Amino acid sequence: MLVKRGPLTVDVDVHIRYTLEPEERATNVIRALDLTIQIPGLLKMATPWVKRAFHRENVRILAELKRYVEAQPKHGDLNTIK
């Protein structure tokens, strides 16, 4: 996937894997992100910035998933995510 932001053009290959693990009366959700970033030339210095942006998005998505699941009607405490 080609991502453009201002003068920065980045080729990104992203694979996301969710793992759901039962834990007591809750479910532990793990969102694993396999990320390959190709930035040409001197703009490679932006790699840490791009990684941080993906990390922040990972945290945001998990928080939204947790908020959504916990807002649903309860069915025997199955809707609790850690």
Consecutive 10-residue runs of the chain (82 residues): their mean pLDDT? 70 89 88 85 80 90 90 67 58
Q: What is the pLDDT of residue 50?
A: 80
Q: What is the pLDDT of residue 16?
A: 92
Cβ-based neighbour number of residue 27 at 10 Å: 15
Model pTM score:
0.67
Residue 14 backbone phi and psi in degrees, to 5 = -120, 130
Residue 18 backbone phi and psi in degrees, to 5 = -105, 135
Q: What is the pLDDT of residue 41?
A: 79
Query: Residues 5, 10, 16, CA angle at the centre, nearest 5°?
Result: 105
Select from 35, 36, 33, 26 the least CA-distant residue to 59. Answer: 33
Q: What is the pLDDT of residue 80?
A: 58
Q: What is the pLDDT of residue 63?
A: 94
